[in-house]
Amino acid sequence: MLARFGEIDFSNSRSVFAYTLRLAEGALDLSWHHCGTTAEFLGEIFALRIATARFDYNEARHSIGYLVNELLENAVKFRSPGDIVIESSFDGGLFEIRVTNLIGEETAARFKDMLAQITSRDPGEMLIERIEANAAGASPGGSGLGLLTLMSDYGVRLGWTFDPRAEGNAIRLQTYAALKLS
């Protein structure tokens, strides 16, 4: 059964500036290096395209790059073997991105539990609680700090779908994010 968390609807039209990348599973293996490089690339591509008197180039590049990097790091860190697809667009001040990858059933169950927590409360309050728990050593990995930072500090709207109809025992995870640039 398809499970959903957060906001998963895109509002940018299909005729806007958009970019799709596929990080292919293969001989080079997907790693942290690919996250940073891809995030910088997309941050630069979109910032150059949208830099006007209305949108600050540096702010756009940083915010988009940070958002992309956080989502890609999660996709690489928790994925099952397979490609990662990144679909991104910009229209009227709104940057939207969808990252699609495969994850295992156990990972999906843990992630759903975490998402149920972070989507049910104020992200700013939860961010402070999680930072304090991490500092005290009371929080193991997978605390959601990156996602909470995006939601609290950047005002990013996030959503997720888990589709168990993927190949093998894997679940297709789609992560949606919308960032309003000012």
Structural domain total, the chain = 1
In this predicted structure, what is the pLDDT of residue 137?
Answer: 75
The better pLDDT of the pair 173, 33 is held by 173
In this predicted structure, what is the pLDDT of residue 139?
Answer: 61
**72-102, pLDDT tens digit by residue?**
999 998 889 889 999 999 998 899 999 999 9
| Alpha-carbon dihedral sign for residues 149, 151, 155, 158 | positive
In this predicted structure, what is the pLDDT of residue 55?
Answer: 83
Rounded Cα distance, 131 and 156, in Å = 19
Distance of CA 60 to the CA centre of its chain: 16
pTM: 0.91
DSSP string, 6-27: E-----S-TTSEEEEEEE--ST
What the block records as the tokens of 112 is 């759903």
Domain range spanning residue 53? 3-180
**25-70, pLDDT tens digit by residue?**
866 566 777 889 999 999 999 999 887 767 889 999 999 999 999 9
The answer on pLDDT for 155 being more than 70 is: yes
In this predicted structure, what is the pLDDT of residue 29?
Answer: 66
> Considering the chain, what percentage of its residues have pLDDT values greater than 90?
58
In this predicted structure, what is the pLDDT of residue 28?
Answer: 57
The better pLDDT of the pair 37, 133 is held by 37
Burial of 39 by CB count in 10 Å (0-12 exposed, 13-18 middle, 19+ buried)?
buried
The better pLDDT of the pair 143, 125 is held by 125
